[in-house]
């Protein structure tokens, strides 16, 4: 049996009792080219499905190259183990922004 401890509050997670959550964060520079590639070609809905698959393949291959060489490019992939309490906290406030002050992401 594997033992985990919460990367947030350091409490051991007893997987018999607690739910063990895995948090994966990927940080990488946004590349607009990827969105442009392929989606402007004419085609019906079938094309879209193809593109989705294409996109997935591309993403998968991107992952590989990221692991190999992309890390120096500002790309990072992180993995954390979280207990249920910390997971709830994280979901509510993923970036740890102090509550009480709303960020104006929206243009309402
Ligand atoms: Zn925790």
CA of 3 to the centre of ligand 1 (A): 14
Residue identified by tokens 């890390």 is 71
pLDDT above 90 coverage of the chain, percent: 31
Higher pLDDT, 13 or 48: 13
Q: Collect residues with CB below 5 Å from ion ligand 1.
A: 6, 8-9, 83, 86
Higher pLDDT, 77 or 37: 77
93, burial (CB in 10 Å: exposed 0-12, middle 13-18, buried 19+) = exposed
Contact partners, residue 5, CB within 8 Å, separation at least 6: 11, 12, 13, 81
CA of 36 to the centre of ligand 1 (A): 40
Which two tokens mark 15? 């997987």
Model confidence, pTM? 0.51
Q: Around 34, how many Cα atoms within 13 Å sit in the side-chain half-sphere? A: 13
pLDDT of residue 70: 44
Are 51 and 39 spatial neighbours (Cβ–Cβ below 8 Å)?
Answer: yes
Contact partners, residue 23, CB within 8 Å, separation at least 6: 7, 79, 80, 81, 82, 87, 90
CA of 89 to the centre of ligand 1 (A): 9
CA of 98 to the centre of ligand 1 (A): 19
Are 20 and 13 spatial neighbours (Cβ–Cβ below 8 Å)?
Answer: yes
pLDDT above 70 coverage of the chain, percent: 63
């Amino acid at each position: 049996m594997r033992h985990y401890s919460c990367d947030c509050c350091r409490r051991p997670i007893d997987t018999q009792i607690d739910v063990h959550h895995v948090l994966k964060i990927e940080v990488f520079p946004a590349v607009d080219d990827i969105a442009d590639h392929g989606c402007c070609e004419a085609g019906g809905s079938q094309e879209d499905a193809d593109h989705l698959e294409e996109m997935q393949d591309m993403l998968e291959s991107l992952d590989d190259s990221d692991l190999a060489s992309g890390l120096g490019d500002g790309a990072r992939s992180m993995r954390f183990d979280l207990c249920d309490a910390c997971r709830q906290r994280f979901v509510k406030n993923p970036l740890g922004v102090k509550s009480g002050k709303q960020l104006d992401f929206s243009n309402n």
